[in-house]
Structure formats: structure tokens, C-alpha cells
């Protein structure tokens, strides 16, 4: 039996699985190392607080994941724009173009609204007042946008899972 050309190259599912596994493994290793290697090191300025040895590694890991995510988003948007202009609007009865632009629009709208509506009230962090209004709003933006997108994903899964019940009730 001859193998198809799909097995010779990695398909999208295999690539995304590999990236997911590598990312999760890397994050777990960094967090385990963060907590197990020098976590209880007292701070030089105030011995009442910890100054873990691998804080910089954890921050760099976070930045690396952030840059990778932004690059992935940019590539995805470019690919979506190129593919939707060439491909059909509906594939397997799924409005792919409408779905792609809806997800992109919801993400951008969520980010902009949560940045504009986010709190910029001062916070007391480790006994020190944090007053930078921009970064307080940016932190709120990411928290609220994550919650909105998570709720949208959950709603989509529930809507998709109840498809058969809706279809059955429609036919009766």
C-alpha cells in the first residue's frame, strides 16, 4: 500500500500538537525550576520578601511566549486574508470567512474596549504603591479580554455540543 504525500510532511494538526507539547513542557520545566531552585531566597532590600533566583528566567519565558503568540497571530491573520480571498466563503456548510473575521473582530474589540474601560486606580503591591496608569489599564485589558474570550470559547463549545439536541427538536 502506497503512503500518501500527507505523511511525508507534517500536517497542521501534527505541527500544532508538537508546538503545544513543547510549549507545555518548557513552561512546566521553567515553573518547577522556579519553585525548586532558590525560591525562598530573601530579598536584599527587605528580607521579609522572597527574591527567587530564577525570576529573570520566568520573565524571559513569559516574554518569549508573548512574542511567539503575537507572531502566530500576525501569520494567522495574513494567511487568513490570503486564503479567504482565494477560497470559498462556505466550506462543509461552515461559513469560514465569516467565522474568521468574527473571531478577529471579537478579539480586537475585546482588547480595545477592555483597555478603554479598564481601571487605572492605584494598587498597593508588596507594600509599595503602583501608580502607572498605562500599565494598570494594560493589565486590566489582558485580564478582561482573556475572560471574554474564554467565555466566548465556552459558549461556542456548548452551542456546538447542543447541536444534535437542537436539530432533533427542530425535526419533531
Reduce the DSSP state of residue 50 to 3 states and report it. strand
Whether 3 is in a domain gets the answer no
Based on the fold, state whether residues 48 and 110 are members of the same structural domain.
no
Whether 165 is in a domain gets the answer yes
Determine contact, residues 38/54, Cβ cutoff 8 Å. yes
Based on the fold, state whether residues 44 and 101 are members of the same structural domain.
no
Based on the fold, state whether residues 67 and 102 are members of the same structural domain.
no
The beta strands (E) that lie in the chain are given as 123-125, 128-130
Q: Give the number of domains in the chain.
A: 2
Note down the domain range covering 155: 90-171
Based on the fold, state whether residues 122 and 52 are members of the same structural domain.
no
Whether 40 is in a domain gets the answer yes
Looking at 86, 112, 134, the residue that finishes a domain is: 86
Torsion of CA 10, 14, 18, 19, to 10 degrees: 90
Looking at 45, 65, 86, the residue that finishes a domain is: 86
- Provide the terminal-to-terminal Cα distance of the chain, rounded to the nearest Å: 46
Q: The whole model's pTM is what? A: 0.56
Write down the pLDDT at residue 146: 93
Reduce the DSSP state of residue 138 to 3 states and report it. helix
Based on the fold, state whether residues 41 and 77 are members of the same structural domain.
yes
Whether 122 is in a domain gets the answer yes
Q: pLDDT in tens for each of the 172 residues of the chain?
A: 445 555 556 777 788 888 889 999 999 999 999 999 999 988 888 888 888 999 999 999 999 999 998 898 888 878 877 776 665 677 777 777 788 788 888 899 999 999 999 999 999 887 889 999 999 999 999 999 999 999 999 998 998 888 777 777 777 6
Cell of residue 131, nine digits: 501608580
Whether 4 is in a domain gets the answer no
> Burial, 48: exposed, middle or buried (Cβ in 10 Å; 0-12, 13-18, 19+)?
exposed
Looking at 36, 55, 86, the residue that finishes a domain is: 86
Determine contact, residues 111/69, Cβ cutoff 8 Å. no
Whether 6 is in a domain gets the answer no
Amino acid at each position: 500500500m502506497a503512503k500518501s504525500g500527507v505523511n511525508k510532511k507534517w500536517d497542521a494538526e501534527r505541527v500544532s500538537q508538537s508546538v503545544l507539547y513543547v510549549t507545555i513542557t518548557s513552561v512546566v520545566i521553567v515553573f518547577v525550576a522556579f519553585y525548586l531552585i532558590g525560591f525562598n531566597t530573601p530579598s536584599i532590600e527587605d528580607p521579609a520578601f522572597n527574591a527567587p533566583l530564577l525570576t529573570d528566567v520566568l520573565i524571559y519565558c513569559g516574554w518569549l511566549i508573548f512574542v511567539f503568540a503575537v507572531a502566530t497571530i500576525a501569520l494567522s491573520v495574513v494567511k487568513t486574508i490570503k486564503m479567504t480571498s482565494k477560497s470559498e466563503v462556505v466550506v462543509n456548510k461552515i461559513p469560514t470567512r465569516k467565522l474568521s473575521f468574527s473571531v478577529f473582530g471579537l478579539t480586537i474589540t475585546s482588547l480595545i474596549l477592555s483597555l478603554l474601560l479598564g481601571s487605572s486606580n492605584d494598587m498597593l503591591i508588596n507594600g509599595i504603591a503602583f501608580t502607572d496608569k498605562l500599565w494598570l489599564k494594560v493589565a486590566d485589558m489582558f485580564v478582561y479580554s482573556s475572560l471574554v474570550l474564554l467565555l466566548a470559547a465556552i459558549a461556542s463549545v456548548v452551542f456546538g455540543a447542543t447541536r444534535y439536541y437542537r436539530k432533533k427538536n427542530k425535526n419533531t
